[in-house]
Amino acid sequence: MTSVHDWAAPNPVSTNRSGLIGKPVDRYEGPLKVTGTAPYAYEVQPPSPPAYGVMIGAEIATGRLTGADIAEAEAAPGVLAVWTHFNVPAQPPRGAKAHPRSTAGSNPALENDKVAYFGQPVAFVVADTLENAVSASHLVKLTYAAETPDVDFRARLEDAGQPPGEQDVEIGDFASGFTAAEVQLDETWSTPIQNHCQMEPCATLAWWEGEKCIVHTSIQMVKPAQHGLAETLGIGRDDVHLLTRYIGGGFGGKGGTYDDLALAALAARALGRPVKVAFTRQQMMNATIHRPATVQRVRLGAKKDGTLDAFSMMTWTHCNRNGNFTEHASNFARALYAAPNRLTGHRLVRLDLPVAGPMRAPGEASGTMSLECAMDELAEKLGLDPVELRIKNEPPVDPENGRPFSMRQMVRCLKEGAQLFGWDRRLPTPGLVRDGRWLVGMGMAAAIRGNFLLPAKCGFSVEPDGTIVVRQGMTDIGTGTYTVLAQIAAETLGVPLGQVRVEIGDSEMPPAPGSGGQFGAATAGSAALMAGMNLRKAIAALAVGDPGSPLHGGSPDEVTFQDGVVAISNRSETLSDLIQRAAPAGIAVEGEIRPAADAREWSTQTYGAHYVEVGVDPITGEVRVRRMLGVFAAGRIINAKTARSQLTGGMIWGAASALTEANPVDVRYGSLLNQDLAQYLVPVQADIGEVEAIILDEVDDKANPMGIKGVGELGNSGAGAAVANAVYNACGVRVRDYPISPDKLLAGLIAQGM
C-alpha cells in the first residue's frame, strides 16, 4: 500500500506550471445551471411520456396501518396504480444481499404494516399526470391502530444508553483533576432538530430497457444507491444503471436512499413506462433525515493562568426507534485543546421520530456550539482574552492519541483572524458599545474538522482531437466537483480548461465514494491525479516511440505537457496531432487512490477561527449579524472561488444555527412542527451582513497526493458559537438553549433589568 512519503515528490499539481491550481475558475457547469438547462433528476427527458407517482405519509407516529380503501382512488381519472403494503410488488426483506459484496442491502418500500414515524410513506399513487396523481392521493382512505408516541427527547435523557459499540474515552483522571482545579466551569447547552432544506427535493425518474433499470436520482453516493436498488428489485447490480448528474444540494440529506428510488423503479417495471417520483417540501421535513437534537454538558477545570487541567464533554442525542445514528458532538473536542485529564462520550435515546442522520458538519456543527462558548465563559472567569486562552491550550501533539499533527495552523488562524477583524478594539465587558439603539458586540470561536481519504478510482482518456475526458462515479452536490476535476485534468495534462470534458455521476464509471464528509475533493481529486499521471506516461511513451513524432527516441521522463503541446526541449508537437496520427482511437487509462499505509501515524485535521460582530436590539431582542470573518487552513486549495463559496456558506449556516434554525416536535402527534420554508427559518440576504473567508497557504503532503483536505464542513464548525459569543459581548445575556431567539434574549435582558 502507498506510503505518504511516496506523495511528497513533485507532480504537475504541485508544480502548477499552467497556473490552474488555486485559480478562481468559474464553475464548469455554471452556464447550464444559470440558464436552467442542467437536467436535474426530475427534469431528465425519458424515452417516452412518464407517469407520475405521489407518496402518502402516515398520519401517526407509531402503530400499524390496519386498512386501506383504495377503490375510489383507483377509479379516479388517469390513475394507473395505487399501492400500500397490502399490494405492493414483492421485495426482498430489509438488508438482504443476494450479492454479499454489495455496499447496501435491500431497502423495500411500503414493506409492512408497521408505522415507525410520522410522515413515513405508507401509500403510493401513480397517474398519467402529476395533477391526477395528487388528486387521487386525497381519495385513499387509510386506517391505523395508533400507539402513544414516545418523542420527548428531554424527558428521556435519564434513559439514554451508550451507542452500540462505543465506550467513553478517558485519559488521566478527570474527576480528580476537575475537583482539584483552581477554576471550574460546568454548564449545559442544547441544540434543536434541524432540517437540510436543499433547494432540490429528493426525486427519481426510472424506466426499463429490457431487463435493465435506468434510474436518474438525486443522491450523494452512487454505488450504495445502485447496489441497494438492485438488491431491492431482486436483480443483478449491473442491471441497474444509476445516474445523478446534477444535484441541487445535499448537505448529507441525500447520503442515503428514500422510497422515491424503489417506488419509481418498481412502478416503471410494473407499468412498462417511465415513472417520476418527487418528495414535496413538506415531505422533505418529516420523511427524510434531519440533524438530531443534542444536550451537551461541558466541564472545564483550569489553573488561574488559563492552563486546562481537566476537560470533559458529554453529549446526549437521539435517533429513530430502529436506528443507531449518533450525533458525535464530542468527538471533535478530542483533538482541539490540551489537558492531561480528559473525558468524552455520547449517550443515545431511541424515539418514535423520523430518522436522524448526518447534516453538514455532523458532530462539529452541534458540538462547537457548547465547547467554544464554554471556552469564552472560562476566559471571562479567568480575566483572559478568549483568543489568548485558546492559544495557551494549543496542544503540541494530538492530545488524545499522541500522534504528531500532519500540519496544524490553528494558532496562525487565530492570530491572523484577530488582526484582520480588529479584535483589539473589542471591549471585554458586555453592553458597553452602542450604535444608536443597537448594542454591539464581538465574538470568536475556533474551528476544526477531520480530514479523510477514501478509496476511489478515476478514468482519463484522450480523444483524437486532444480533448481530455474525465470519467468518475463521483457526484457534485453544488460543491464544485466538476470544476476541480477539470482543473486537475487540465493542469496534469497541460491543456487549456476548454479542452477538458468531465463526466461524473454514473454508476458505470470508475467508482468513487461520492460527496460528503468533506472528503470529496481530496478523494476524487487524488484518484484523478493518479489517472492523469498514468495518461501522461502513456502519451509520453507513445510520443517517444512514434517514428513520426519530433519526440521520437527521447526519454519519456523528459516529455513536458503545456498549452496542448508535448515537448522535449525544443522539439514539440500538439497533443492532437500526436493522437490523430499515432493513436486514432484515443487512449484510455484508470487511476486509483487508497489511504497510505502510514496514514494513521498522523493526526490530520482542518482548522479555522471565526470572528463575528453582531447588533442586539434591547427593545425587541432582535439580533443582526453585522460582520463575519473566518480564517481557515485546509491544505492546498484547488479553486479559490468554490472553496470560498463553501466556507462562507458554512459560516452563514452557523449563524442560522445560532439564531433561527429549529424544528420542534409536536409531542401529541410525533410530527415536526415546521414543515415548509415559511415556518422553518433559514437566513435570507437581509439577515447576514459582510461575510469574508480567508484561506491560508498550506500544502499537507501527508494527507494525500494532492496535499489538499476539504472545506465543505469546516466553515460551519464554530461559526454559530462565535455568533453566540458576540451576542453575549453585546448585551451580557447567555442563551444556552439554541437558537437564540428574541423571546429567549428578551427574557435574559429583562432579568438583568434592561
Give CA torsion, residues 17, 19, 20, 26, to 10 deg. Answer: -160
- Rg of the chain on CA atoms, in Å: 27
pLDDT tens by residue, 201-214? 999 999 999 999 99
- Rounded Cα gap, residues 379 and 384, in angstroms: 5
pLDDT digits (tens, 9 = 90+) for 58-99: 999 999 999 999 999 999 999 999 999 999 999 999 999 999
Question: Which of the 8 DSSP states describes residue 636?
Answer: -
What is the 3 state secondary structure string of 565-611?
EEEECCEEEEHHHHHHHHCCCCEEEEEEECCCCCHHHCECEEEEEEE
Q: Tell me the CATH number at 427.
A: 3.30.365.10
For 577-601, the pLDDT digits (tens) are 999 999 999 999 999 999 988 888 9
Please give the mean pLDDT across all residues of the chain. Answer: 97
Q: What DSSP character marks residue 198? A: -
User: Which of 438, 387, 421 has its CA nearest to residue 731?
Assistant: 438
Element of type H or E holding 439: strand 438-450
Domain-embedded: residue 470? yes
d(CA 648, CA 653): 9
Tens of pLDDT, residue by residue over 347-365, are 999 999 999 999 999 999 9
The yes-or-no verdict on residue 10 having pLDDT over 90 is no
Same domain, 466 and 546: yes
Check: CB of residue 489 under 8 Å from CB of residue 468.
yes
Contact 292, 193 (CB under 8 A): yes
Phi/psi of residue 592, each to 5°?
A: -145, 145
Q: Going by DSSP bridges, is the β-strand pair 434-435/438-450 parallel, antiparallel, or unpaired?
A: antiparallel
Q: What is the mean pLDDT of residues 311-318?
A: 98
Grid cell 474525465 in the structure block, residue: 470
Domain end residue (candidates: 568, 594, 620): 594
pLDDT in tens, 630-660: 999 999 999 999 999 999 999 999 999 999 9
Based on the domain organization, do 520 and 398 belong to the same domain?
Answer: no
Average pLDDT over residues 455-475: 98
Of 594, 612, 636, which closes a domain?
A: 594
**What pLDDT does residue 496 have?**
98
Q: Which three cell numbers stand for residue 438?
A: 443597537
Angle at 410 between CA 407 and CA 416, to 5 degrees: 125
627, 729: one domain: yes
Do 467 and 445 sit in the same domain of this protein?
Answer: no
Q: For residues 468 and 462, give the distance between their C-alpha atoms in angstroms, rounded to a whole number.
A: 5
- Say what the pLDDT of residue 6 is: 67
Does one domain contain both 434 and 572?
A: no
Is residue 580 situated within a structural domain?
yes
Residue 1 has pLDDT above 60, yes or no: no
Give dist(CA 596, CA 4) in Å, integer: 6
Q: Amino acid identity of 83?
A: W
Q: In this structure, is residue 705 part of a structural domain?
A: yes
User: For 507-538, what is each residue's pLDDT tens digit?
Assistant: 999 999 999 999 999 999 999 999 999 999 99
* Contacts (Cβ under 8 Å, ≥6 apart) of 724: 369, 373, 443, 658, 734, 735, 738, 740
Chain centroid, CA 324 distance in Å: 19
Task: Say yes or no: 626 and 578 in one domain.
Answer: no
Positive or negative CA dihedral for 91, 97, 101, 103?
A: positive
- Residue 24, pLDDT above cutoff 80: yes
Position 169 in a domain: no
Q: Are 82 and 70 in contact (CB under 8 A)?
A: yes
Residues 553-564 pLDDT 10s: 999 999 999 999
Q: Judge whether 26 lies within some domain.
A: no
Any idea which residues carry the catalytic annotation? 713
Of the candidates 344, 380, 353, 373, the residue with the CA atom closest to the CA atom of residue 667:
353
Residue type (1 letter), 748: G
Are residues 615 and 503 part of one domain? no
Asked if residue 639 and residue 649 are part of one domain, the reply reads yes
User: Buried b vs exposed e over 701-736: b needs ≥16 C-beta within 10 Å?
Assistant: bbbbbbbbbbbbbbbbbbbbbbbbbbbbbbbbbbbb
Q: Report the domain count for the chain.
A: 2
Return the C-alpha torsion angle 33, 36, 38, 42, nearest 10: 130
Q: Which of 144, 139, 160 is nearest to 65 (CA)?
A: 144
Pair (617, 689) in one structural domain = yes
748 pLDDT more than 60: yes
Please report which confidence band the pLDDT of residue 344 belongs to, taking 50, 70 and 90 as the band edges. Answer: very high
The pLDDT score that the predictor gives to residue 624 is 96
Are 659 and 710 part of one and the same domain? yes
Final residue in a domain of this structure, among 552, 568, 594? 594
Both 437 and 483 in a single domain? no
Q: Is 21 contained in some domain?
A: no
Strand partners, 290: 356
User: Do 583 and 666 share a domain, yes or no?
Assistant: no
The answer to the question of residue 732 being in a domain is: yes
Which backbone phi and psi does 27 adopt, to 5 degrees? -60, 135
What's the whole-number mean pLDDT along residues 731-745?
Answer: 98
Binned at pLDDT 50, 70 and 90, residue 2 comes out as low
Between CA 49 and CA 58 the distance in angstroms is 30
Over residues 118-145, the pLDDT tens digits come to 999 999 999 999 999 999 999 999 999 9
Confirm whether 433 is domain-assigned: yes
Structural domain that includes position 501: 4-13+454-594
